[in-house]
A and B are shown apart, each in its own frame.
Chain A
Amino acid sequence: DIQMTQSPSSLSASVGDRVTITCRASQDIGSDLGWYQQKPGKAPQRLIYAVSSLQSGVPSRFSGSGSGTEFSLTISSLQPEDFATYYCLQHNSYPLTFGGGTKVEIK
């Protein structure tokens, strides 16, 4: 199985801050990585697919980068609606595996 190690597990930030979340895969997954945002009591929502492609409707302050085993999600200027938990997901091979999640909280 491919393990996805996500860091940090939580962070506190202020509106307007630049925030970066990272995911490390236990083996090369090419560009088969996506990012999801989950708000309390809600289903996750797609943010980014194929490492860096934004889903339709996702604000441009979100961006993704990386390849192989190291990936990151960056929010360039944190907005109030961005406080949520973020997950990476690898779909290079079964079983599909998620990172452990990063909870972004208000400082």
Chain B
Amino acid sequence: QLQLQESGPGLVKPSETLSLTCTVSGGSISSSSFSWGWIRQPPQKGLEWIGSIYYSGNTYYNPSLQSRVTLSVDTSKNQFSLKLRFVSAADTAVYFCARWQYGSGWHWGQGTLVTVSS
């Protein structure tokens, strides 16, 4: 059964870089049938797509975050990662990693809360 698990610091200082990793189990990240993405949810607010990456390395980013975001894939570890630079309090959110399959939608990890504070 597919499982995705986010990991990384729960507290990041303003202006620093938020780094999260998603470990995929029960399925291979090296499949052209899927893409892998990050979605976030500020406290008591809605969902915002951050970006998606294919195992080939092709990436798509939300224009509102594009200048600060980098996604990457490590096929040897069956992981993909998010880096968000120059964070501020507005980046405080629950960050979800997820697998996208056309015709099925997003399969989500449980999410991890990242707080930006000094």
Contact = CB atoms under 8 A, between A and B. Distances in A.
For chain A, give the interface size range.
Answer: 20 to 34
Interface stretch (A14-22, A73-81, A97-105): A97-105
Interface of A: 1, 34, 36, 42-46, 49-50, 55, 87, 89, 91, 94-101
A96 B52 contact: yes
Interface of B: 37, 46-49, 52, 60-64, 96, 100, 102-111
Contact of B63 (A1, A49, A100, A101): A1
A95 B62 contact: yes
Contact of A50 (B60, B64, B103): B103
Contacts of A34: 105-106
Contacts, number: 55
B48 A98 contact: yes
B103 to A, nearest CB: 6
A55 B60 contact: no
For B61, B63, B106, the residue with the greatest tally of chain A CB atoms inside 10 Å of its CB is B106
B107 A46 contact: yes
For A44, A49, A96, the residue with the greatest tally of chain B CB atoms inside 10 Å of its CB is A96
Given A49-B103, A50-B103, A95-B63, A43 B49 contact: no
Contacts of B47: 36, 44, 87, 89, 98, 101
The 5 closest A-B pairs by CB, nearest first: A43-B108, A96-B49, A98-B47, A34-B105, A95-B62
Contact of B110 (A43, A49, A87, A97): A43
B104 A46 contact: yes
6 contacts: A36-B105, A43-B108, A46-B105, A91-B102, A94-B52, A95-B61
